Every structure is written in C-alpha cells, then in structure tokens.
Structure 1
Amino acid sequence: MLMRVSAAAPALAQPASSTARLAWLDALRGIGALAVVAEHLLPWFLPDLRPYWFNLGVYGILVFFLVSGYIIPTSLERHGDVRAFWISRIFRLYPLYLSVIVLVLTLAWWVPVRGEVPRDGSAVAAHATMLLDVVSVGGVADTMWTLSYEMVFYLLVTALFLAGGHQRSGQLSMVFAAGAVVVGLVASGAVLVGGWPAYVSAGVFAAGLACVMWGRARTAAACLLGLMALAALLLSSRVPWLGTAVLAVMFAGTAIHRWERGAGGLWPVAVTTALVAIAPLWAIESGWWWVQADVWLTTIALAGATFAGAMALRGRRLPRILVWLGLVSYSLYLVHHPLLKYFVEITGDLRQADLPYQVAMAALALAVVLGVSALAYRFIERPGQALGRRLSGRDARGLQRRADPGVAGQDPGDDGVLRHQEGEVPDGVGDHVGQDDVVR
C-alpha cells in the first residue's frame, strides 16, 4: 500500500517503499524456513506425514539460494562499497553462528557433537571461514553445511565485481550448470582429502579478506579468494556436483534480477534449469532418494514456481506470518535442528507413538523453536547487524539517502537488502530418516 507523505517528512517515504518491495523476499524466506523445519521435524515427530514425491530440504535450498542470487550481487553493485559489504556480511552471519557453536559445544556432554566433525584443528579452521562443506568438514550443527556455498558465492561475486565481470550472470549460471553435469560424471567426491584443505583455505581467507577490506591489492586479493573458493568447491567438497549446481542456481537468481531490470534475457535461466535438472542423474548410485528423476524434477519445479509466484505478487500485501518468519529465518535455520535434537532427547523416540501425542509434541517443539528463534533474532542478530552498520558507516550514509526521496535503493538503517538470505538455507538433503533409523 502506498503512503502519502508531506514534503516536510521525506525521510518516512523510503522505508515504507523499501518494506513493500522487500516483503515478497521475506515471504519467500518464510516459506523456505517452514520447509527447513518440516524437513527435520516430520521424520522425528510425524514420519507418516513426510512427503517423498519431492524433497522439502532441497526445495528450501533452491528457494533460498534463488533469493540470495537475486539480491546479493545487486546489493553490492548498488552500494559499490566492498569493505562495507563484507563488514555487513560478517556482522550479519557470525554473531548467531558463533552463538550456536557455543551452545552445541556447551551441551555436548548431553547430546554429543555429531561424528562427522573432526576432532582436530581442521574443524576450527573450517568453522572459522564457514567453508565447511567445500573442505569436507562437518559442522557442529547439522544445518551449517549450506553456509559454505553462500560464502563461496560471496567470494566469487566480490571478485567479479572488482574485476568488472559482474554483469555476466546469465553466462555464469549456464557455465556452472554445465559444470555440474560434467563434475557429476567425473567426480563422485573430494579429490583433495585430509585436513590440509581446511588449513590452507583458512590462511588464504584471512589474508585475502584483510586485503579486500583494507584496500591493499584489493582486486588481486579478491580474485585469489574467488579462485581458492572455486578450487575448494570442485576439488575438496563432499558433493562437488551439488555445490556447482547451487552456484548455477544462485547466478540464475541474479540473471532473473537483471532481466527484471531490462539488462538481460530469461533464456539463460531456462538453459540453467535444464542442465541442473540432469546434473544428478549419475549420483543415483549413491543411494540418495532425492536425486531420483521424478523427485528431483518435481522439487525443482516447485521451487521455481514458488519463486515466480512470490515475484508476481511483489508489492502486494502478503501474509504477515510469512514475512515475520522470513525476518527471523536465519535464526530459525541455525537453531531449529539442535533444539529438535534436545527435544527428542527429552521425549524419547516419538516415531511409534500415538498420533495425538505426536501432534501435541510436534506443536510444542515448533512453539519452542519459534520462540527461541525470535529471541535469537532480537538479542543476537539485530545487535550484530546494528554494530556492522555503525562500523561500515552505513548509518550515516543511510540517513543522507533517506533525506532525498529521489534516490532509489533500500533503507540502510534497516539493512533491508543484506539482512536476510545468505545463510537461511535448509539442511537435510540426505536426511532420510526411516522407521528403523536411530534418532540422534
């Protein structure tokens, strides 16, 4: 809904339009967040209701990564400030991320840290960079693995922006989609194994990001970081074809944004979709049910339809609950899986319980997860974002922009374009819990 404001109060106009224009992205994140929670809640609480004709986890991955691809590169281009971008990313992601790590490690005496996490310095190095999955290191919380691909995307986008190649989103999406097909044919897993990829990537990450943020050999450092991230994705990640396909999806999201602005066509998105659709055909031998052709294609179609439908409704009033879920979705993404583990540890295995009891426990668990997510957003995420804005100087620049109603852009005081989507992606693409599986 448009608001009429007087000339004496132009500062109120921009936040209102910014909120309206971003509501559909928040709603998408809300839908994705529900898919994430359902992916992990249903197998443990209501296994008979879990769908197998599509995969909730992969569906959420595709929706969230389309959102990231749609807005993150153009956010960087709009502000044109690499240092401010990375300060915003760090203070957006790390406060909650580190808090969840502390929580999981503190309660490890009760619910042990998952066995996929190395008990050595490589785990520390991989967690420090968030490049967990691309260096074949498990996260202390199950859902952290997808943050790896967000971080790879940020590094690549920064390098492309500084090197002047950021406008070729459509071509990049097709290249990565074709790469996913090729990688699926030739590589079933990591080529470089052991802890040293985590150590090397951590060293390059720290040194390169310092140069990027403080301007010393910035472009060269950004290109080195991008090459390092790409090499890790292809050579040391646990599922190389999936990571490559994820990047194709993210750049397809950017291509959609450029098409919307009249700066490109949609045909690269169509080509990317077709290539991503066939990318996992050779991974079926791994035994993952979600790469079966019917499940995979249905999941892709549903994710694409969800994004297109939300995009068609942009600017309209959307359900407030979905917008709110999108607002807290990063907290919801990171905290829900550990909390569900703790909940099941208290209640015991619910998979054979009576349906009314399962429903009651599922509702209670969901209420706990939503409540903790809201608290985490209020007391961890928001203060971290505010500190990031102060350190990057965006608060002062945001006030200047909002004083000029003719300047297009988001409300930097609310960090609208950068507050949301980079880490809210679902885990559990291989979390197929059956009646005989051990709940852990």
Structure 2
Amino acid sequence: MTTTGEETATARGGPWWWGRRRSAVFDWCLAVASALECAAEGVPFAREAGIPVGVGVVFGFLAGSVLLVRRRYPIAVVLVAIAITPAEMGFLMGTVGLYTLAASELPRRIIGSLAGMQLVGTLIVTFVRVRQDIARGALTLGDWFVPFASIAISLGLTAPPLLLGLYVGARRRLMESLRERADDLERELQLLAERAEERAEWARNEERTRIAREMHDVVAHRVSLMVVHAAALQAVARKDPEKAVKNAALVGDMGRQALMELREMLGVLRSGGEGERRPAVEAVAAVAVARVVEEGEGPCLEELEELVGQSAAAGMVVELSVEGEVRGYAPEIEQTAYRVVQEALTNVHKHAAGAKARVRLAHRVAEIAMQVENEPPPEAGSAASARLPSGGNGLVGMRERVVALGGVFVSGPTEAGGFRVSAVIPAG
C-alpha cells in the first residue's frame, strides 16, 4: 500500500523536527556554510561600524546559524535575513530562507509580504552601495546605472528562489494529493473486493438454500408417500403374505434410506461447510434441480387436485375447497402456493398419520391465501408406526418461500390438538 510523505517521514524517524536523517544533515551543512559566510562578512561590517572585529564575527556567526531552523521557522529565517541585509550579510541565508518560505504551506499573502520586504531591503541596500561606489570613483558609469543595477541585483536575489520555492511547493502538494488519492482508491478497491466477496458468499449460500429447498419439495413428498404405501401394503397383503411383507419392508427401508441420505445432502448444502464432498453434493443437487426444470416450469395450482388425490390414495381423508374466482398468477407465486400445500400434506403423513386434513385455497382481489389444517391422529403413536424421519426444515423452507415473495406465513397447533399451516401471498 502506498504511503504519504508524512507517513514516510514518520516511519524513518529523523531527529527533532526533521523527518529524515539526511534532511537534518543537509540543513546542518547549510547552517555551517551560512554561519561561516556571515562570520566572514562580519569583518568588514565591524570595521565600517567601528566595533571590535570579534563582535562582528560572532554576530555574523550567530545570525548565519539561524538557517538551521529553516524548516521549522521559515518566517524567522527570512526576517533575520532582512534584518542583516543593511550589514551586507546573509546572501546564502536570504536565498535559502526565501526558497523554504515559498515552498512551505504558509498562506500566499504572508509569503508575498516577506518576499516584498526582502526585495525592497535588497533594492535599498544595493542602491546605496552602488551610489557610494560611483561617488568614490570606484565605478565610472553614469547615473542610469544606479537604478538599473539596484533593480537587477534585487530581482536576481529574490525572484529565482521565490519562483523555485513556489514550484517545488506546488509539486510537493500535487504529489501528496496524488498519494492520498492513490491510498483512497486502494482502500476503496479493497472495500469493493471485500463487499464482492461477501456478496458472492451470500449468493452461494442463497443458491445452496434454494437447491436444498427444491430437492426437499420435489423428492420428500413422493418418497413419504412411497413409505406410506409400503406400510399399507404390509397390512393388506394376503395372497403371499411372506413375500408381500418382505417386499413391502424392502420398499419401506429403501424409502427411509432415501429420505435420510437426502437430508444429509441438504444438511451439507445448508451448512455451507468446506470439504471434498461439497462440490460433489452441490453437483448432484444441481443436476436434480436441472432435471425438474427441464420437465417444465414447475408445479402450478391446476395440479393441486392431483396432489390432494395422491394423499387420498395413500389413505388420508383430505378435503379440498377453493374460494373466489380462479385466475392465473405469476409462475413463482403458483409454485410457492403449491409447495406450501405439498409440504403441509407431507407433514400430516409424517406426524399425524390417519388424521383428517382440510385444504383451503382462496383467490382474493390482491392476494392468494392457502390453509392446510389437520385434526389430531386417531391413535397415539400412529406417526411413529410409519417411522418417517424428519429434518425440521419443512416449515422453515415454506416460510422462506412465502416471505421472499412479500407474503405472510403462520403455522402452529390448533386448540383441538391438530396443526394448521396458513400463508398469504400478494398476487401482484
């Protein structure tokens, strides 16, 4: 991941206010050079001012050493350079200080004011010095040379460091902005990747749940009926009792094993566990669902009478009543309504064998409602005689289907000791 200049400087940990050690070494070298320059220029200044030479040297050395704090206090460095301009000291300090000031984050009005002060100071000192040289005869040029030399020298000492500092500061800020944008972009890309992974995982879980629900609805009901038929065959076979009982028991055992294996597969799909068998299980489930899809778009409400007839053929006393004007709905609505009734009847076979059941279907203006209610089983333990395994996902699957379409699902025992499953699905 990219880092900004401030983070890089902090990571390297230079001494005091320096971000890097090489910056500190560079500033120390500049400060030493500036101090030696001002100390040397302090000799003629002391002679002209009539003070001891040692005082001028020490003054120049101390003034030139201020360049050491140019990164921390650029304004102070420029002010000192302006102050010692009449003494004709601080050429290096003035140039470097103005460059540092222009490259800093200070407001432009402050930079412009200090640069203007330094320009005026240099212009005045140069004007006086050149005029004195002409008056002493050191220069034999005309009077026109005084303002020309003053302006040229003052601009030459002020404009280059100012413009260079402004350019470097703008470039530095641009690079800082680009680094920050790169960091933000990388964070956004990382966040998008995490969200995409979350969405993909959510989609995989939803697909596993959908496959599990489809396999449960398609297979569980018919296998349950097969087991019920096998139990009935054991009770009514008379011609060859031994063979009939063996065959019926075999059919019952096969049906129970099929249900147990199916629920194991559904459990793997719902849990989403990683393993070597997971791809194989999902592949088998996908093939099963694909076969159902190839046969048609799925069950519809027109097949509801056939569904009720299958339960009646298995020995259940079941009534079907339809209210309202029969009309067509979207395929997913009809399929969901069919599956709710199918799973409710399957639960009656499993948990209340022999109980009477009523199936009600109501076509309303903006919705379709269905209800499956069964009475208590006639004999205790009749459900156990069928020994039908239950995975506990039937009601959960029905609720998921109905809620996904914006409907309402309610299930629970009745006051009479039976069980009721009700669902209302919007028709829009």
Instruction: Please give the range of the TM-score, normalised by the shorter of the 2 chains.
Output: under 0.3
Q: TM-score, normalised by structure 2?
A: 0.20
Name which structure has the greater RCO, CA cutoff 8 Å, separation 6+: 1
Question: What is the TM-score with the length of structure 1 in the denominator?
Answer: 0.20
Identify, as 1 or 2, the structure richer in strand.
2
